Structure 1
């Protein structure tokens, strides 16, 4: 880890010129004291890093210094493969590797191209954390240590012990055969089998993980896209799923579909709204999802769901129905 950090420190100074210890610490995600120790180690190893004093001082490299320290390690190369999705690299625990890899990649560019690429990068913002309505994009928080262990098991083809807490469930340990990792809309998933049956585990619900020495029981090659589709199909046909008939404002059609598991039927109605038959994971999921759409979606059946939404709305109306808020 320290060797990678020293390489990143050198590349930062090569590409950006003078940098303060505080700025280096922020980039490398370490303390200022660690940066000072690293600079001392580099100087002792003969690299021309020196300090400039004064108000605008900092650490710099000699202008003509060249380095061949641009070889990518495994995680950095992997991070570049998933770099098309910034959230994907974060979800798979590769955020720091991606930053290090990009430093090495930029350093390998010819000087003129490096400068033009850096200027162009300032004109691009990809996948920001909030949209134009200032809504924060929901992204799962996943422990780097946990996802690193899961990655190791996936790539090494080893069985994996998971402490997993499903919705409203007590965490349990289970042993699985990992197949691959998938990221969808800011959420990461592990595809695996358990006792030969397909399983899908949300990474943010994995509390601990340990790769075992025992080889995983799985094919040598996998079509991950097809496997993901098969897992989805299995999810949508099992459990306590609920099919709901609704009428929907066409302007909100896509938002409704995004909160459902599947659409079974859809047609335009004479009133200008859509009639849709949609599937939800269970009654609780259906009530939560359709409540989000307010008056833009109305449940026509089943009656029990209409009653649940009516009771929720009535309770809210009573709470806000009269007078100022209680002191």
Structure 2
């Protein structure tokens, strides 16, 4: 276990540069004291790791250091094999490349590991195409050529010209500085800036893309997870959102919350039902979410939503009251 951890520590420093002891401890899921002992062990073994003191200090490897770190243990090989079943790579146009890589990894494994890892992988299924109700999970289709052009610009740090159709709008050409790519529930997004302002583009709305030779204006390092969280927060709290006060059976709470953008308040009523104040993207989103819960939820406000749901239910009732002659 320690040998694997030491290899992981060196790989982290090689690929991410200077890191603090606290960051290394979090990545390796050990204590900072263990990290310090591992750093000392690496130094004693001749690995050129050094410490930089100060507020932004940490540990780093000497520039140009290279070493051969070969050999996959069983769990690492298994992780790569089951990764091939994830559809996330499809969002970035890497599905065929991932499948090809899996074949190469399997072929390179010792025969004993190949058989055991492949056998174990067949007993794990990640993100199947349908859920327990046989509802097909719809993955967005984006032409590989478009995603490949976006991906090249992101990796090369070049400006990107995109033909983009915003929701309800006509496609328009715009030039952006790409930051990174994110996939959420099989939906791909491009994080970028335009004229210095943060922008988020849905890959399925791209009609064309062209990598430009000019360098992009962007920071050398980026924390994509943090950037995504910040943009998600701004999306939930900005714009013309719809706030809804609803009562819902506790057993259906998860369904309501999963469709809402944010939960602003929550309490349990004297009747045992939950009262939640939630926000939705627009009126159609709010009506759809409450309608899915049928009689297990009730919109208390705004009044227009109650009227809309009442009219919809009345229309359904009228339709099925009609007798066939």
Partner of 2:319: 319
Q: For the residues of structure 2 that align with 1:266 and 1:215, how far apart are their CA atoms? A: 48
CA distance in 1, matches of 2:88, 2:289: 25
CA distance 1:316–1:166, change in 2 (3 Å): farther
Residue in 1 that maps onto 2:274:
274
CA deviation digits over 1:162-194, x for unaligned, max 9?
222222222222111111111111211111111
- Contact 1:82–1:88 at 8 Å: present in 2 too? no
**Counterpart secondary structure, 1:323:** coil
Match of 1:52 in 2: none
Note the 1:129-144 alignment, pairs <5 A. 129-144=129-144
Deviations 1:60-79 (A, max 9, x none): xxxxxxxxxxxxxxxxxxxx
TM-score (norm 2): 0.72
| Alignment of structure 1 residues 1-12 onto 2, 5 Å | none
Q: Is the 8 A contact 1:106 1:114 kept in 2?
A: yes
Q: Is residue 96 of structure 1 aligned with residue 96 of structure 2?
A: yes
Q: Assess if the C-alpha contact under 8 Å between 2:82 and 2:121 holds in 1.
A: no
What corresponds to 2:10 in structure 1? none
Give 1:179-194 correspondences, 5 Å limit.
179-194=179-194
| Residue correspondence of structure 1 range 37-56 to structure 2 within 5 A | none
SS in 1 for 2:87: helix
Confirm or deny that 1:309 pairs with 2:309.
Answer: yes
Instruction: Output the aligned Cα RMSD.
Output: 1.9
Aligned residues: 246
Runs of 4+ in 1 over 3 A off after TM superposition: 80-85
Q: Assess if the C-alpha contact under 8 Å between 2:84 and 2:98 holds in 1.
A: no
5 Å matches for 1:1-327? 83=83, 86-324=86-324
Verify the 8 A CA contact 2:82 2:126 in the aligned structure 1: no
Output the CA distance in 1 between the equivalents of 2:163 and 2:258.
29
Segments of structure 1 that go 5 or more residues without pairing to the other structure are: 1-79
After the TM superposition, which of the residue ranges 212-221 and 160-169 deviates more from structure 2?
A: 160-169
Contact 2:85 / 2:125 at 8 angstroms: preserved in 1? Answer: no
